[in-house]
Amino acid sequence: MTTTDPFAGGTRRVAVVTGGSRGIGRAVSRRLADDGLAVVVNYVGDDAAAAETVGAITASGGQAVAVRADVADETAVAALFDRAETEYGGVDVVVNCAARLALSPIAELDLDVLDRLHRTNIRGAFVVAQQAARRLRAGGALVGFSTSVVGTQFPGYGAYVASKGAVEAITLILARELRGRDVTVNAVAPGPTATELFLDGKTEEQVEALAKAPPLERLGSPEDIADVVAFLAGPRGRWVNGQVLRANGGLV
């Protein structure tokens, strides 16, 4: 049987990165561009951040375009993938970084906040996974995002962890549903990572304590996580499928 190697020369591979304009998403967008992929940088509201991310990629010789879409809106997400196909000819990598974070004891959480968080983190993850399952080309990869707090079970993270547990639950199922397509499905579960989303609302003492928790005694950087995503999306990660990779410096 003869097959075509999707990683061998020729057509540029294409990535869609949701939440790709800031934080880990920006680092992922830039890393994939450095690896030679054309990147569709999805964002929901910050035009300036999206333009800055695209500008950084193109200034370094890469290809990128910014596309606004709410990941929980199936019509908008379908249009996002349409744009990727129109602009660059197809989709090879999908990285779903878009997420909300709300910290509160379960007994005190405003249920409207819960609904908004789960709309983005669960419905959004499902909508993006649907489009990825329908459109990824052979040799493709879907990388979702969970959190290492699914394991550490820190108080105050109940709503967020519930939403990320859903991401972990569908990862292996979708990998199995895509049998025969030569498409991998994995999730990355970062530990404490120095992003605006993580640092917001925390005291210096809290941040210092979290930085000391892993054996490596530091916070992760967005680039640390982007390196893991690049591995899963590239040729060296093809035998990893249906897995949740905890990128957290040894935090348990």
Tokens, residue 211: 């930085």
Of 159, 169, 145, 137, the residue nearest 28 (C-alpha)? 145
* Closest residue by Cα to residue 191 from 127, 246, 133, 240: 246
The first and second tokens of residue 141, run together, are: 């990869």
State in Å, rounded, how far the first CA of the chain is from the last one.
45
Q: Give catalytic status of residue 43 as yes or no.
A: no
Q: Measure the CA–CA gap between 6 and 12, rounded to whole angstroms.
A: 10
Alpha-carbon distance 62 to 223, whole Å? 18
Contacts 24+ apart (CB under 8 A), 208-217: 213/251, 214/248, 214/249, 214/250, 214/251, 215/249, 215/250, 216/249, 216/250
Annotated catalytic residue: which of 43, 88, 157, 160? 160
**Which residue spans within the chain are E strands per DSSP?**
14-18, 38-43, 64-68, 91-96, 136-145, 184-190, 244-247
Active site residues: 160
